[in-house]
Amino acid sequence: MDSREPIASQPGHLAEKLFPILNICQKMSSERDLSALLDLIAKEATNLMEADRASLFLLDREKNELSSRVALGSEGILRFEARFGIAGAVLATGETINVEDAHQDPRFYREIDLRTGYRTRSLLAVPLRDYQGEIIGAFEVLNKKTGVFSHEDEEILKALAAQAAVAIETAQMMEEMSRHRDQLQEQIGHLWKEVEGRFSTEHIIGTSQKIQAVLKVIDQISNSSVNVLITGESGTGKELAAKAIHYKSPRARGPFVALNCAALPEALVESELFGIERGVATGVERRTGKFEAAHGGTLFLDEVGDLSLGAQAKLLRVLQERIIEHVGGRKSIPVDVRVLSATNKDLETEIKQRAFREDLYYRLKVIHIQMPALREIREDIPLLTNYFLASYCREAGREPLDLTHEAMSALMRYSWPGNVRELENEMKRLVLSVAGRMITPADLPEGVRRLGVTTASISSSRRPLKEAVAELEKRLMLEALEQSRNNQQQAAAALGLSRQGFIKKMKRYGIKAPL
Ligand X SMILES: Nc1ncnc2c1ncn2[C@@H]1O[C@H](COP(=O)(O)OP(=O)(O)O)[C@@H](O)[C@H]1O
Contacts with Mg ion, residue ranges (CB under 5 A):
239
Binding partner at 270 among ligand X, Mg ion, none, C-beta below 5 to 8 Å by kind: none
Binding partner at 232 among ligand X, Mg ion, none, C-beta below 5 to 8 Å by kind: ligand X
Based on CB atoms, which residue is closest to ligand X, 41 or 304? 304
**Distant-in-sequence, close-in-space partners of 26: CB < 8 Å, separation ≥ 6:** none
Binding partner at 205 among ligand X, Mg ion, none, C-beta below 5 to 8 Å by kind: ligand X
Phi then psi for residue 80, to 5 deg, are: -155, 165
Min dist. Cβ of residue 305 to ligand X (A): 13
Binds ligand X by CB under 6 A, chosen from 424, 426, 479, 482 = 424
C-alpha atoms less than 13 angstroms from C-alpha of 418 in its C-beta half-sphere: 8
Element (H, E) at 134: none
- Judged by DSSP in three states, 54 sits in strand
- Residues 337-366 touching ligand X, rule: CB under 6 A, are none
Min dist. Cβ of residue 238 to Mg ion (A): 5
Q: How far apart are CA 170 and CA 278, in angstroms?
A: 42
Binding partner at 424 among Mg ion, ligand X, none, C-beta below 5 to 8 Å by kind: ligand X
- Residues 401-420 touching ligand X, rule: CB under 6 A, are 420
Q: How far apart are CA 494 and CA 295, in angstroms?
A: 48
DSSP string, 153-172: HHHHHHHHHHHHHHHHHHHH
Based on CB atoms, which residue is closest to ligand X, 235 or 441? 235
Min dist. Cβ of residue 293 to ligand X (A): 20
Q: Are 440 and 394 in contact (CB under 8 A)?
A: no
- Residues 174-233 touching ligand X, rule: CB under 6 A, are 203-206, 211, 232
Q: How far apart are CA 73 and CA 82, in angstroms?
A: 20
The 234-253 contact track toward ligand X, x by CB under 6 A, reads xxxxxxx-------------
The 111-150 contact track toward ligand X, x by CB under 6 A, reads ----------------------------------------
Q: How far apart are CA 378 and CA 294, in angstroms?
A: 37
Min dist. Cβ of residue 507 to ligand X (A): 36
Binds ligand X by CB under 6 A, chosen from 421, 428, 450, 505 = 421
- Judged by DSSP in three states, 189 sits in helix
Q: How far apart are CA 496 and CA 486, in angstroms?
A: 16
- How many degrees, rounded to 5, is the angle at CA 78 between CA 75 and CA 80? 165
The 72-111 contact track toward ligand X, x by CB under 6 A, reads ----------------------------------------
Based on CB atoms, which residue is closest to ligand X, 240 or 261? 240
Based on CB atoms, which residue is closest to Mg ion, 239 or 277? 239
- How many degrees, rounded to 5, is the angle at CA 105 between CA 121 and CA 43? 40
Binding partner at 236 among ligand X, Mg ion, none, C-beta below 5 to 8 Å by kind: ligand X
Min dist. Cβ of residue 239 to Mg ion (A): 4
Q: Which residues of 21-58 are buried (b: 16+ CB within 10 A; e: fewer)?
A: beebbeebeebeebeebbbbbbebbbebbebbbbbbbb
Min dist. Cβ of residue 281 to Mg ion (A): 31
Based on CB atoms, which residue is closest to ligand X, 386 or 488? 386
Binding partner at 295 among Mg ion, ligand X, none, C-beta below 5 to 8 Å by kind: none
Based on CB atoms, which residue is closest to ligand X, 105 or 422? 422
Closest CA to 425 of 406, 444, 408, 449: 444
Min dist. Cβ of residue 204 to ligand X (A): 5
Min dist. Cβ of residue 234 to ligand X (A): 5
C-alpha atoms less than 13 angstroms from C-alpha of 208 in its C-beta half-sphere: 20
C-beta atoms surrounding 206 within 10 Å: 21
Phi then psi for residue 278, to 5 deg, are: -65, 140
Based on CB atoms, which residue is closest to ligand X, 300 or 361? 300
Q: How far apart are CA 308 and CA 506, in angstroms?
A: 40
Binding partner at 137 among ligand X, Mg ion, none, C-beta below 5 to 8 Å by kind: none
Min dist. Cβ of residue 62 to ligand X (A): 48
Based on CB atoms, which residue is closest to ligand X, 49 or 241? 241
Min dist. Cβ of residue 258 to ligand X (A): 10
Based on CB atoms, which residue is closest to ligand X, 234 or 332? 234
Using Cβ positions, the residue closest to ligand X within the complex turns out to be: 237
Binding partner at 237 among Mg ion, ligand X, none, C-beta below 5 to 8 Å by kind: ligand X
Element (H, E) at 203: none
Q: How far apart are CA 148 and CA 154, in angstroms?
A: 11
Based on CB atoms, which residue is closest to ligand X, 342 or 448? 342
C-alpha atoms less than 13 angstroms from C-alpha of 171 in its C-beta half-sphere: 21
The residues of the shown chain that bind ligand X, judged by CB under 6 A, are 203-206, 211, 232, 234-240, 420-421, 424
